[in-house]
Amino acid sequence: MTKRIGQVTLVVRDYDEAIDFYVGVLGFDLIEDTILSEHKRWVIVAPPGVGGCSLLLAKGVGVHQESRIGDQTGGRVFLFLYTDDLDRDYVSLCDHKVTIVRSPATEIYGRVLVFADLYGNLWDLIEPIATFD
């Protein structure tokens, strides 16, 4: 039996501003944007390439869900994005004025930096020592 995680839900304040960030700033692909009702959409974004996990952008509804926007993991790094060129992506993040929480550093597994998305969720951007597919 084969299993994989297909999507992870990311609670957002607004669908369009989230799409603008993940597609326009991070360079993700917009996989789907389907209207489900007057207030709900099925929005999936993913880094370009084959396979891997995608993000389901879900608009927070009500005080409880809205309180989780930007802090779904209590301030810990939440998501891990792998790259084949950390320097290129670091320049792009800086050009887009993305908050860099920790500058590029070399670790035993590769080069890494920490950035915050538009809501404050923390991401590791990792250029692993070993190649990935």
Which CATH number goes with the domain that contains 43?
A: 3.10.180.10
> Do 58 and 24 reside in the same domain of the chain?
yes
pLDDT grade for 121, boundaries at 50, 70 and 90:
very high
C-alpha distance from residue 54 to each of 91, 100, 101 (Å): 24, 23, 23
Domain containing 31 equals: 1-69
Among the candidates 51, 69, 87, a domain finishes at 69
Q: How far apart are CA 88 and CA 111, in angstroms?
A: 13
> Do 65 and 123 reside in the same domain of the chain?
no
* Angle in degrees, CA 73, 97, 76, rounded to 5: 15
pLDDT digits (tens, 9 = 90+) for 69-89: 999 999 999 999 999 999 999
pTM higher than 0.75: yes
Percentage with pLDDT > 90 across the chain: 87
